Structures are given as structure tokens and as C-alpha cells.
């Protein structure tokens, strides 16, 4: 099948591309390369450097490629930027999504999968919550993801387009962008490998649900290719396992030290320091992915420990070569 992945040159999108190729499908990528990288993609994958906000450019891609399925990962994904510039967030995350949805419907795409977020929809929860837990987004980014899900539902009901929203937990792994505010694993791995000081916000007792990127890619592939019981469905994609930032920083310190030692490097990894707490950070966020497990037998295959090892190894290769 021909599958269009918006944001496919990014962290999660490029792993979806890899997973689809392994299954014998033909991915096509649309990405404006604002945070994505061409190098994340295998050479044979067509890359259209197009902004999803530019509907006529996007339309040309649909006309030329006639995709069977669409997987929409493109987004501005900074919560703090969304707070500073809600209209920019809405432009990309709502209007960009609507352009893609309208074109998918006009070109009779068979299914549309959308990257949503469990973290921003459910807010502060101390136990893993399922999809029926009331959504209560507080940031413009959360509001635009929630609006996106409602638009999907509308397109399903009004136009018969099959849609799936995947509500990711905290995704981590190789190719994650360490430059943004998101992705503590990427930021810490890179800084530690350089021997730079890392800062844990506040007391570090912020509980998150970390899910490995290949597990998230597999959830996308299942959602694209398998039948769902309803025309519109939403699924959580996470582990339900709580990890706080102190524990994560400790594991990353020992993994980066091991990696540096194996490479014969004398770089010293400083012990993370505690900085001021970040306003608005949730204390705890965990999601329950039983629905996805029951329907398609999806469960996380990569443990946090192993996933962190793979991520650190990838960041070390980026930094020092093979």
C-alpha cells in the first residue's frame, strides 16, 4: 500500500516509515523539515518538503501520489511555544490537520491515523487511565490535539472516513530531537555524553510513562492496516509503568558512563543537579493501553532499560561516529 506520512522525517514518523518498509509497503513523506531531518529517511523514500499549512502544495502531493492511507504526525509539538503563540500552534496543529483531512477525504483515502497525546489530554493522574477518562487539556497544544481528535470524529461521521487517534505517552528512542523542550531522554543523553552538566527540574519527582519509539511505530502500523470495530477510534499508546525523572537520570548516567568507557573516552559524566521547578509541570501522568492490547494484541516489547541503552548508543554514534 502507498502510505503518506506527514512529519515522516521526524523522530516518530521516521520509525513509522521504517516499520512500513519492513512490512513491504511504500511510504511517502511530507515534511517541512522544521525539526525533521532528511537523514532520518532511507534514500528510496520520496520526500516532499512541503508545509501542511500550504494546502495547494499538499494537494499536488495527493494528486501525484494518490496514497491509500494517511498517517498524520506533523505538528508543532512545543507546549511552551503553544502558550506563547497559540495562533501559530492552531495554524499548524488544527489548520494543517484540516488541510490533510480534507485532502484525504477528497482523494478517497481508506484510513487516516493521527498522533494525539495522552499526556496533555488526561493531565495529572496518579494511576494509568483509559481512553474514557475525561479529556481536560489546559495548554493550547493540548487543546489543539483534542480539537484534532474531534475533527477526526466529525470526518468519520460526516464523510465515512475511517480515523484513528493514537494518544501517545512520553515517547523516547533514537532520532529524538534534543534541541526542543520535549524529550528528557534525548537532552540528558546528549549532554551527559558531552560531559556537560544536566539539570533535573525541581525535586525531579515527576512521574511519566516512557514508551519506546518502535513500539509506537508498531501501534501506528496496526492502526493503519488492521480493521477497527468503529469508524472512529482512539487508543492509548503507553506502558502504564511509572518512572520519575530522578530514576531516569540515574539510569542515563550509568548508561552514558558505560558507553563512554566502551569507546575509550575519558569524558566524565557529572551528577545531575537540581534546578528550579518548571511552572505547570504535571506531577504524574500514566496511561492504560489495554484497549489496544485487547484489539490488536499490542503491548510494549522494549523495556525502559533496553530502550534507554539503544537511545544512548544512538546518541553516542551521532556524537562520536561508530
Contacts with ligand NAD by CB under 6 A lie at 6-7, 9-13, 31-36, 51-53, 73-77, 92, 96, 115, 117, 168, 170-171, 177, 182
DSSP per-residue letters across 163-187? EEEEEE-EEESTT--SSSSS-HHHH
Active site residues: 141
Cβ contacts of residue 308 below 8 Å, gap of 6+? 172, 185, 248, 251, 252, 255
Which residue number, 168 or 315, has a Cβ lying nearer to ligand NAD?
168
Cβ contacts of residue 34 below 8 Å, gap of 6+? 76
CB of 232 to ligand NAD, least distance (A): 18
CB of 108 to ligand NAD, least distance (A): 22
- DSSP structure class, residue 38: G
CB of 120 to ligand NAD, least distance (A): 7
Q: Are 180 and 10 in contact (CB under 8 A)?
A: no
Which residue number, 208 or 260, has a Cβ lying nearer to ligand NAD?
208
The helix or strand, by DSSP H or E, that contains position 306, with its residue range, turns out to be: helix 304-320
Which residue number, 109 or 269, has a Cβ lying nearer to ligand NAD?
109
Which residue number, 192 or 211, has a Cβ lying nearer to ligand NAD?
211
CB of 238 to ligand NAD, least distance (A): 10
Give the bridge partners for 116, in sequence order: 167
Amino acid at each position: 500500500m502507498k502510505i503518506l506520512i506527514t512529519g515522516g522525517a521526524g523522530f516518530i514518523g521516521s520509525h513509522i516509515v521504517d516499520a512500513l518498509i519492513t512490512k513491504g509497503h511504500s511510504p511517502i513523506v511530507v515534511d517541512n523539515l522544521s525539526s525533521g531531518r532528511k537523514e532520518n529517511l532511507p534514500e528510496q523514500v520520496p520526500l516532499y518538503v512541503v508545509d501542511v499549512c500550504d494546502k495547494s502544495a499538499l494537494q499536488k502531493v495527493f494528486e501525484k501520489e494518490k496514497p491509500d492511507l494517511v498517517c498524520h504526525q506533523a505538528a508543532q509539538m512545543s507546549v511552551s511555544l503553544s502558550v506563547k503563540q497559540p495562533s501559530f500552534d492552531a495554524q499548524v496543529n488544527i489548520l494543517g490537520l484540516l488541510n490533510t483531512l480534507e485532502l484525504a477525504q477528497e482523494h478517497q483515502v481508506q484510513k487516516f491515523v493521527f498522533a494525539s497525546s495522552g499526556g496533555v489530554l488526561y493531565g495529572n493522574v496518579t494511576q494509568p487511565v483509559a481512553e474514557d477518562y475525561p479529556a481536560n487539556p489546559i495548554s493550547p497544544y493540548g487543546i489543539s490535539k483534542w480539537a484534532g481528535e474531534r475533527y477526526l470524529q466529525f470526518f468519520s461521521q460526516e464523510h465515512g472516513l475511517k480515523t484513528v487517534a493514537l494518544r501517545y505517552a512520553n515517547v523516547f528512542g533514537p532520532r529524538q530531537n534534543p534541541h526542543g523542550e520535549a524529550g528528557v531522554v534525548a537532552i540528558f543523553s546528549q549532554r551527559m555524553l558531552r560531559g556537560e552538566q544536566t539539570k533535573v527540574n525541581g525535586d525531579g519527582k515527576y512521574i511519566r510513562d516512557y514508551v519506546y519509539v518502535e513500539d509506537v511505530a508498531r501501534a501506528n502500523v496496526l492502526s493503519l492496516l488492521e480493521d477497527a470495530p468503529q469508524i472512529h477510534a482512539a487508543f492509548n499508546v503507553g506502558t502504564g509503568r511509572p518512572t520519575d525523572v530522578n530514576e531516569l537520570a540515574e539510569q542515563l548516567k550509568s548508561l552514558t558512563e558505560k558507553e563512554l568507557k566502551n569507546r575509550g573516552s575519558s569524558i566524565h559524566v557529572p551528577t545531575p543537579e537540581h534546578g528550579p521547578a518548571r511552572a505547570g509541570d504535571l506531577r504524574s501522568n500514566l496511561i492504560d493501553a489495554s484497549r489496544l492490547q485487547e484489539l490488536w494484541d499490542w503491548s510494549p516489547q522494549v523495556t525502559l532499560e533496553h530502550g534507554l541503552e539503544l537511545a544512548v548508543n544512538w546518541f553516542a554514534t551521532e556524537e562520536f561516529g561508530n
